[in-house]
């Protein structure tokens, strides 16, 4: 991991994302790319003629203001000692993020969120959700940035169907990079009950042929899948929750539509998503 992208709109959420990205950058000796997208109303500027004579005064004014904000943003103490590259682009937020990710060969995207309930709500109906669905690189979604942020324990929550295996090596690599313990979690609910024996066999079949390193196998019973994920993560003091997402259908379908119960804001952990590939 060498390049981390942080979309920045200079909000509180962007600061939280930058703070977490800075911590990861220091652990991995990575560069941070701060990306600010200028989404201007139609008619204010013609993006197809960006830099043209008629657009120059307007575009330069917006770019100048963005760079002035970056000057203040980059002075925050947590960015000290990190190579930070600022980028200002005219584009729709999620499209610009994806384009810049490919252009800069980004390894990880870190995004803030102001979702107030559960895992589904933090990802659905926002630019964050759009990036999560379409990004080919992992996306880390954060809501809080504790000073002691670390990555020692990662919960990988899954239904452990075979279709999820094609990103599992990436999750193992992420855990290995930080020398973290990987806790494999399957949540059983009353509406989707499975015996411990069957769940154990499913997980073991899933991980067969993978060299995982430090890991645990866990089966957890709860009212909903989402509550199970969050409660288990809190029980073991996990630092990050890792899940797969689908580019066409989003997150919830991977859990048979069972995610949706609201969770207290303070209980929500950082969530890193890995897009499933065909």
Please provide the average confidence, as pLDDT, over all residues in the chain.
80
Average pLDDT over residues 92-97: 81
Enumerate the β-bridge partners of residue 87: 35
Q: Give yes or no for residue 255 having a pLDDT over 70.
A: no
For 36, counting Cβ atoms within 10 Å of its Cβ (0-12 exposed, 13-18 middle, 19+ buried), the class is buried
Query: What sign does the CA torsion over 156, 174, 120, 159 have?
Result: negative
pTM (2 decimals)? 0.83
φ/ψ (deg, to 5) at 78: -70, -15
Specify the domain boundaries for CATH 3.40.50.620 within the chain. Answer: 3-112, 153-275
Which CATH architecture fits 153-275? Answer: 3-Layer(aba) Sandwich (3.40)
Short-list 189, 170, 191, 192, CA closest to 242: 170
CATH superfamily of 3-112: HUPs (3.40.50.620)
Average pLDDT over residues 101-125: 73
Taking each continuous run of H as one helix and of E as one strand, the counts in the chain are: 8, 10
For the stretch 196-213, pLDDT in tens is 999 999 999 999 989 998
Min mean pLDDT across 16-25, 74-83, 136-145 is at 136-145
């Amino acid at each position: 991991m060498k390049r981390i992208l942080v979309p920045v709109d200079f909000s509180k959420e962007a600061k939280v994302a930058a703070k977490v990205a800075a911590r990861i950058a220091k652990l991995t000796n990575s560069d941070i790319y701060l990306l600010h997208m200028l989404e201007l109303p139609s008619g204010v500027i013609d993006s197809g003629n960006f830099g043209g004579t008629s657009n120059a005064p307007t575009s330069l004014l917006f770019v100048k203001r963005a760079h002035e904000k970056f000057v203040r943003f980059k002075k925050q103490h947590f960015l000290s000692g990190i190579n930070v590259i600022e980028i200002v682009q005219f584009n729709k937020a999620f499209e610009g993020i994806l384009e810049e990710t490919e252009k800069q060969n980004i390894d990880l995207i870190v995004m803030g969120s102001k979702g107030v309930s559960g895992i589904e709500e933090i990802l659905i109906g926002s630019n964050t959700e759009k990036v999560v669905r379409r990004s080919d690189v992992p996306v880390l979604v954060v809501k809080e940035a504790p000073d002691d942020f670390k990555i020692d324990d990662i919960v990988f929550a899954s239904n452990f169907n075979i279709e999820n295996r094609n990103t599992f090596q990436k999750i193992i690599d992420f855990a290995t990079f930080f020398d973290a313990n990987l806790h494999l979690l399957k949540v059983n609910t009353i509406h989707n009950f499975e015996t411990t024996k069957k769940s154990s066999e499913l997980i073991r079949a899933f991980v067969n042929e993978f060299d995982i390193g430090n890991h645990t196998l866990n089966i957890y019973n709860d009212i909903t899948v989402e509550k199970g994920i969050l409660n288990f993560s809190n029980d073991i003091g996990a630092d990050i929750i890792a899940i797969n997402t689908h580019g066409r259908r989003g997150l919830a379908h991977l859990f048979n539509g069972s995610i949706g119960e609201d969770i207290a804001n303070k209980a929500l952990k950082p969530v890193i998503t890995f897009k499933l590939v065909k």
